[in-house]
Amino acid sequence: MIIITILEFLLIAIFAMALGLLFMGIARKVVARTQKRIGPPFYQPYLDVLKLFGKDAITHGFIFDFGAIMAFGGMIATLFFVPIGSIYLYSMSGTLLLVIYLMAIAYLGMAMATVGSGNPLASVGISRALTQMLGYEMPFIVVLLTLIYSSGSSSIVGIMQAQQGGFMNWNLINVPLGTLVAFIALLGLMGKKPFDAPIAPSEIASGPVVEHGGKYLGLLMLQHAVSIVVKTALFVNLFFGGASNILFFLLKMLLVWLLATLIGSVFPRFKVEEGVLFYWKWPLIGALIQAVIIIF
Amino acid sequence: MKEKYKSSKWQEVINWAQKRSLFMLHYCTGCGAIELPPTMTSRYDMSRFGIGPAATPRQADILLITGYLSTKTLRRVVYTYEQMQDPKFVMGFGSCTINGGMYWDSYNTIKQLDKYLPVDLYIAGCMPRPEAILEGFLDLKEKIENGEAKGYKKYKEEYEYYKTNQKKVLGEVKRRQ
């Protein structure tokens, strides 16, 4: 019995990694086509990860190792609370807030790895990432509280079930302004282009992952892949009504991901203080207006 | 050459993936750097061969030396090379790295790169055009597939030779702590 449960967890984790890498490959192809390039094949991230795990790697001490594992493990733990299609492991109330908390674990893991490596560029990168988190979490949390109020449930499965029965019940239609705000927050959550100051490759040499080479970089690439799946799946569950069929669910995830990628491929990036200021201005005002409309 | 790396099947799989995914660190000392933006961007687009720029030495597979190296920059290049993770490859780019090029009688540039670092492949020309660079990358991929690009093992085995040559131009290195 316990073996079956473990297998279930393992299968979901592997599926998410494979799916995330596929999404990364599709994004690279899409960005290439918008820039009139041919671009790498869609399976390029798989090759990258395989190669990185075949390379040597040096460590900078125990904290460095622990941080990388904590970042990966934190993201995998988040994955188990997000339903994918009709597959979900937990449906108790409060999973939505739990997921928001767990997502921070991955960032804290990266911060630990940064401290372990002692590289100044990495410190700049992670401090930017945590500052930006202050920015996007405020409007995002306001929208989530609105959703919890309107659907009367604080579990992701509950919010998904409250939207069943045709697309007129989706939160996309019922909470349009909130959806827009949450999408802007999603760009920051995934580190997409207008809000990618934390990893800015041309200024701070890829930020938190400066000192990660070889196998560590492979691990963090897998972490990034899982994080893409977690965040797009969360967004689809909350605003696009989830799906009973896994294929429809993947299609919706792909749509959200492609939209984020296309926006990311045409915008330059905000400075980190500009990004935070932006989040605390327009998205926050939008979120508050939406909350007032829903409550009264 | 120690053959224990080559013999395993796993190494062949890794070589197969390594060939198709190369992160490149370009050390732009000379004028050669100007040929790289067109190679990376829309006109020639090297990412279709799975080659992309890397941000730091730790993440990189290829060290591309574009142009002449003065004795001052050679020290930085050696540090950079020793920070990279195995397997790693060095490409000399332009005639300056082969025989000094137009700096052949200069008092403070090195003439021949492979006395100081194990070069896997040279791209000749002053400057080589993007087509030549892509051709060079394809040749390097072939060498990796056949297991001929063993510069990083050579550097370990003939460490004394390379260090002696480096010390001859750099003098004794005093590391700042």
Query: For residue B2, what are the contacts with CB-CB under 8 A and spacing of at least 6?
Result: B153
- Lateral strand order in the sheet of B51-53: B51-53, B22-28, B62-66, B89-93, B121-123
Taking contacts as CB-CB distances below 8 angstroms, the residues of chain B near A209 are: 59
What pLDDT, on a 0 to 100 scale, did the predictor assign at position A254?
92
- List average pLDDT for each run of 10 residues in chain A, which is 296 residues long: 85 90 91 89 90 85 88 90 81 84 86 86 88 89 89 84 78 83 89 83 80 87 91 88 82 91 88 88 89 84
SS3 assignment, position A128: helix
Q: B121 - beta bridge partners?
A: B91
Q: Is B114 on the interface with A (CB under 8 A)?
A: no
Whether residue B7 is predicted with pLDDT greater than 50 in this model: the reply is yes
Q: Please give the single-letter amino acid code of residue A146.
A: T
pLDDT of residue B3: 53
d(CA B39, CA B52): 10
Of B42, B56, B86, the CB nearest to A206: B56
Q: What pLDDT is attached to residue A57?
A: 83
CA-based nearest residue in chain B for residue A121:
B56
Nearest CA-CA distance, residue B26 and chain A, Å: 13
**Both tokens of residue A205?**
């040499």
Strands B51-53 and B89-93: unpaired
Q: Give the pLDDT score at B173.
A: 62
Say yes or no: B80 contacts chain A, CB-CB below 8 A: no
Domains by residue range for chain B, with CATH: 22-170 (3.40.50.12280)
The secondary element (H helix, E strand) that includes residue B22 is: strand B22-28
- Do residue B56 and residue A211 have CB atoms under 8 angstroms apart? yes
When CB atoms are compared, the residue of B10, B41, B85 closest to A56 is: B85
Which of A46, A47, A121 to mutate to probe the B interface, most B CBs <10 Å?
Answer: A47
Contacts B57 to A, Cβ<8 Å = 213
Residue A5 distance to chain B (closest CA, Å): 31
Looking at residue A89, the DSSP 8-state letter turns out to be S
Q: Is B59 at the interface with chain A, CB within 8 A?
A: yes
Q: Around A294, how many Cα atoms within 13 Å sit in the side-chain half-sphere?
A: 25
Among B21, B82, B134, B156, which would you mutate to test the A interface (most chain A Cβ atoms within 10 Å of its Cβ)? B21
Helix axes B71-83, B159-170, angle to 10 degrees: 150
CA atoms within 13 Å, Cβ hemisphere of B21? 25
pLDDT score for A26: 92
User: Inter-chain contact A32–B45, Cβ cutoff 8 Å?
Assistant: yes
Q: Which residue of A has its CA nearest to B88?
A: A55
Q: Which DSSP symbol is given to B129?
A: P
- Tell me, yes or no, if A58 comes closer than 8 A to chain B by beta carbon: yes
Write b or e for each residue in B92-117: b if 16 or more Cβ atoms lie within 10 A of its Cβ, otherwise e: bbbbbbbebbebeeeeebbbebbebb
Interchain contact, A210 vs B55, CB within 8 Å: yes
CB pairs under 8 A between A and B: 80
User: How confident is the model at residue A165, as a pLDDT?
Assistant: 75
Lowest-pLDDT range of A196-200, A258-262, B2-6, B98-102: B2-6
pTM over 0.80: yes
Mutation target for A interface from B22, B59, B62: give the one with most A CBs within 10 A.
B59
Q: Which of B130, B163, B144 is nearest to B41 (CA)?
A: B130
Question: Is pLDDT at B1 greater than 60 in this prediction?
Answer: no
Nearest chain B residue to A46 by CA: give it.
Answer: B17
Please count the CA atoms within 13 angstroms of the CA of A53 that sit on its side-chain side: 12
Task: Please tell me which of the candidates A47, A206, A209 has its beta carbon nearest to residue B20.
Answer: A47
Indicate yes or no: CB of B58 within 8 angstroms of CB of A210.
Answer: yes
What percent of chain B clears pLDDT 90, i.e. is strictly above it? 1
Residue with the two structure tokens 């797009």: A232
**A contact test, residue of B24, B51, B56, B141 with most A CBs within 10 A:** B56
Tell me, yes or no, if B41 comes closer than 8 A to chain A by beta carbon: yes
ipTM of this predicted complex?
A: 0.83
Taking CA atoms, A182 is separated from A139, A167, A232, A236, A287, in Å, by 7, 18, 11, 11, 8
What are the start-end ranges of the H helices in A82-191? 95-117, 120-151, 156-162, 171-174, 176-189
- Contact of B147 with chain A, judged by CB distance below 8 Å, is answered with no
Task: Find, in chain A, the residue whose alpha carbon is nearest to that of B84.
Answer: A213
Q: pLDDT class for B176, splitting at 50, 70, 90?
A: low
